[in-house]
Structure formats: structure tokens, C-alpha cells
Amino acid sequence: MKNEVLELRREGLYCPAGDFYIDPRGNVARAVITHAHSDHGRPGHRSYLCSDSCKSLLKIRIGKDSPVESLAFGKRTKIGDAWVSFHPAGHILGSAQIRVEVRGRVWVVSGDYKPQADQTCEPFELVQCDGFVSECTFGLPVYRWLPETEIHQQINQWWAENSGENRPSLLFSYSLGKAQRVLAGLNKEIGPIFVHSAVYPFLEYYAQAGIKLPQVTKIERGQDYAFEDSMIIAPPAVEDSTWTRNFRSARKGFASGWMAVRGARRRRNLDRGFILSDHADWNGLIEVIKGTGAEEIQVTHGNGDALTRYLREQGINCSVLAGASMRGEEEA
């Protein structure tokens, strides 16, 4: 990939006119960050720029003393000879699409995005552009999401059934974004809610953003708790750890877009899978890509070949961004 606005280098997408990278790997002088997931906002860069609501979350990831500046959504700033602005991506709190304009040409790098409704982050904004870099984590027709309210009803019903048997419900969900989205839909009348220590640090910043979440208890090492009718939210990283063995009687579930794939739940030895994703589904990808009006589409990670073939059949100039390594947290 190389055009008048962006080019692909070893460290990632680079804007020569502004001398900055977007979600770079390695160590660079100036990093512009789409959101605070660890595969996009990495430590080690000399300076960072992100959206206002991303700043605190990013500092949890990369260190509270990191040199992070932020910009309000929709406000333009000039970096070198490039104009840059952030626009809501609807992925998690603070997630942004990055609009880069150089000499009248506009490219938008989406990062991860989701046009579906989500009460825990800023709603997705469609941005008109000449070129669009799109994720395609779930770029196959099998991935089609139900409204989040229906998934929340499924989770609460499962929790209530488990509670009726005096069994805790252990639900794995990614610590930033997904866990808060699950929490926002829980019926606190069913029982107490506990969270793993990896989830807890982010919660105060969601509260500061005006997002209502139920009261939770952080699980502290060495403390005794009554878990019988509780909901426990934990990251997938502890799924096979000694930490999880403390909940031998628990029913185990997983909230992820991957639960749409037959056999995914069985392979992970889960009692229940809930199809809840913070990425665009097949319909969402197509809707957004067409809506941008872009003359050129570059897709990254996921099912890029399948989506590219489909879009080309629709007369859209689309190709896979060769050499890009922009895996979403939900892929990991």
C-alpha cells in the first residue's frame, strides 16, 4: 500500500506528510492510536495521540506516566502537513476511526469498529473519504449479530437458571470493552456480581464517562466469598489457569462473536456461548464500506479474501492490505 496519504512500513501504517504512524508496532517517535486494546496501543513509543475518552484507558495499558495527548472527537489538528481528526468507531469506549487529510485527499483508518448499538461506548460515525482501511475480523456471511438486548436477556436467563441451582456463573469476556458491555446488561436482582482484577481498573473510567454499570466486587487473592448464586466476569486469559479452578461448581460461558461458529463452544469445554461481539458483522462491514463512498478499500486481518471477492463482485475497488498485522483483541 502506498498513496499520497498513507503507506505501509514494517512498523505499520505511516503518514509521510505528518511523520506519524497509526497503531504502530516496535518503537516510533509519534504514534496515533485508534483505541486502548493492547494490540493497537503498545508501550514504547515516544509520543501518543488518541481520543479524549481513550486517554485514561490507554494509560492503564501502557503506563500512567506515558506521554499521551488527546483530542476531542471531531476536532481537527495539523501534524506536519497532514490534518488529523478522530471519529467514533463504536468498538469500545474511546475507540476512534482516524481521518487523515493531505492536500485534499482523505483516508480513514477504522481500527476496529462496530455500527451496531452499544450502550457502553460512543456510537459509530460514518465518515466520507477517498480511501478506507477496514478491519474484517468477522468478514464471512455466517457472522450476523442479534441486537445486544437479546443477548443480555440470554445471559440473564442463563444466570438465573444457574442461580436457582446454587451454582455460580463464570462468564469469560475480554477485560476492556466486552466485560463492561456484559456488565451493563446484567440484572443485579439475580445475585451478586464479581469481577476479575484485570477487569476492575477500567470500571471507574466508564463511570466517569457517564456509563451506568452495576455494583461489583473485585475478587482479591486470599479472600473468602460466597459465590453460589453469583455472576463472575473474567478474561479468557484465565480460562485454563489455577484461578479458574477455584470455581469448580460454576457453569462456564463465553461472550464472543466466535460463538457463532459451530463447535467453538464444544472445543473450549463451555456450558454456554453468547454471540456478542465488539466488531462489525458481515452486514455491518458491507454497510459501512459502501457508506463511506471511498474509491479504494483496503481490508486488514480476519477474512479479507472472502470480503474482497464479494466487494469486487459489487464493483467496489477492494484489496487485502498485504503485510499488515493488525489483529483485533477478539482474534487473539
Residues 123, 177 within the same domain:
no
Q: What is the CATH number of the domain that holds 34?
A: 3.60.15.10
Residues 119, 173 within the same domain:
no
* pLDDT of amino acid 245: 86
Classify residue 2: in a domain, yes or no: no
Strands (E), the chain: 7-9, 12-15, 20-22, 31-32, 48-51, 68-71, 77-79, 82-88, 96-102, 105-109, 131-136, 169-172, 193-195, 217-218, 231-234, 251-255, 272-274, 296-302, 318-320
| Domain range for 17 | 7-142+279-331
What lies within 8 Å, CB to CB, of 257 at 6+ separation is 137, 138, 143, 145, 275, 276, 277, 279, 281, 330
Classify residue 1: in a domain, yes or no: no
pTM of this structure = 0.94
Beta-carbon neighbour count of residue 76 at 10 Å?
11
Classify residue 250: in a domain, yes or no: yes
* pLDDT of amino acid 328: 47
Residues 313, 245 within the same domain:
no
Which residues in the chain land under pLDDT 50? Answer: 325-332
Residues 138, 12 within the same domain:
yes
27 grid coordinates? 518503537
- From 153, 202, 178, select the one nearest 254 (Cα to Cα): 178
* pLDDT of amino acid 331: 40
Give the integer Cα–Cα distance in Å for 56 and 207.
Answer: 12
End-to-end Cα distance, the chain: 25
Q: What is the CATH number of the domain that holds 185?
A: 3.40.50
Q: What is the pLDDT of residues 133-185, one digit of tens each?
A: 999 999 999 999 999 999 999 999 999 999 999 999 999 999 999 999 999 99
- Dihedral through CA 5, CA 322, CA 114, CA 187, nearest 10? -140
Classify residue 320: in a domain, yes or no: yes
**304-313 and 282-291 helices cross at what angle (nearest 10)?**
50
Give the integer Cα–Cα distance in Å for 61 and 56.
Answer: 9
* pLDDT of amino acid 50: 98
* pLDDT of amino acid 324: 54
Residues 138, 40 within the same domain:
yes
Number of domains in the chain: 2
Contact 107, 83 (CB under 8 A): no
